[in-house]
């Protein structure tokens, strides 16, 4: 399964009528968060493949679109894409699951969680993973997240510290991939892929085409 995975930044290479020539054929679109709805919707309509997303710590606020006359319509999610947070989905033979948000670093109502709250999210997701395990012999293949795990691609400042709870999550549920954004890259020598036990942890900022 070839996936276009996007995160955090509107990338002019993709936000272009030439997107399909630039990325080649893909089977799936995944968004790791912090992206405006119009960008996800543009990519979904141009690439025309199933699309799944989680929210980042930014961009959960609604957006407004012009409606009839001088009215504005409030929009709370991108159209044509499925919110994966606390859910699993099976696309062909690939088992996806999602955990949104970043570590809590201020009082904002956006998708921020303490590590304990992320543990609760994991517990809420676990029954669906257990159903996968019974049906398909594995919990999941790909965790779509916004934040990295603690100590892998994360940063020392509070807003960019990864989730400690993702480490036992990977050891126990053994996803083949944990895809994340949130950590913007400013140099081209930063580590973006790290193997942790059975999981490839990949920072997809601002986009990657991956064979999953
Ligand atoms: Zn973020």
Q: What is the pLDDT of residue 68?
A: 66
Please state the length of the chain. 212
Of 52, 48, 76, which is closest to residue 144 (Cα–Cα)? Answer: 52
pLDDT of residue 36: 93
The maximal CA–CA distance of the chain, rounded, in angstroms, is 56
For residue 147, report the distance from its CA to the centre of ligand 1, in Å. Answer: 7
Model pLDDT for residues 85-128, shown as the tens digit of each residue: 999 999 999 999 999 999 999 988 779 999 999 999 999 999 99
DSSP states along 56-105? -SSS-S-EEEE-STT-EEEE-S-TT-EE-BT-EEEETTEEEEEE--EE--
Write the CB contacts of 15 (distance below 8 Å, at least 6 apart in sequence): 39, 42, 43
CA distance 31 to 39: 10
- Its CATH class, for the domain covering 2-211, is alpha beta
All residue ranges of the chain with pLDDT < 70 are 59-72
Please give the distance, rounded to the nearest whole angstrom, from the Cα atom of residue 164 to the centre of ligand 1.
Answer: 16
pLDDT for the residue 195: 98
Q: Give the distance (Å) from ligand 1 centre to CA of residue 71.
A: 31
- Measured in Å, residue 33 CA sits from the centre of ligand 1 at 7
Please give the Cα distance from 146 to 123 (Å, whole number). 18
Ligand 1 center from residue 58 Cα (angstroms): 6
CA of 146 to the centre of ligand 1 (A): 6
CA distance 118 to 146: 12
Instruction: Supply the pLDDT for residue 108.
Output: 81
């Amino acid at each position: 399964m070839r996936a276009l995975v996007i995160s955090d930044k509107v990338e002019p290479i993709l936000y272009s009528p030439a997107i399909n020539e630039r990325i080649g054929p893909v089977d799936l679109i995944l968004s790791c968060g912090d992206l405006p709805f119009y960008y996800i919707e543009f990519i979904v309509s141009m690439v025309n493949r199933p699309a799944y997303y989680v929210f980042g710590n930014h961009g959960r606020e609604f957006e407004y679109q012009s409606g009839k006359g001088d009215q504005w319509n409030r929009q709370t999610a991108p159209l044509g894409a499925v919110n994966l947070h606390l859910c699993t989905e099976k696309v062909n033979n690939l088992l996806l699951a999602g955990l949104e948000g970043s570590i809590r670093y201020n009082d904002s109502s956006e998708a921020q969680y303490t590590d304990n709250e992320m543990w609760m999210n994991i517990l809420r997701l676990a029954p669906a993973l257990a159903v996968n395990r019974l049906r398909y012999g594995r919990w999941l293949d790909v965790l779509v997240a916004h934040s990295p795990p603690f100590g892998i691609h994360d940063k020392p400042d509070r807003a960019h510290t990864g989730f400690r709870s993702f480490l036992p999550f990977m050891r126990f549920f053994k996803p083949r991939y944990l895809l994340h954004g949130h950590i913007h890259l400013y140099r081209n020598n930063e580590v973006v892929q790290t193997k942790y036990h059975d999981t490839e942890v990949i920072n997809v900022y601002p986009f990657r085409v991956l064979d999953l």
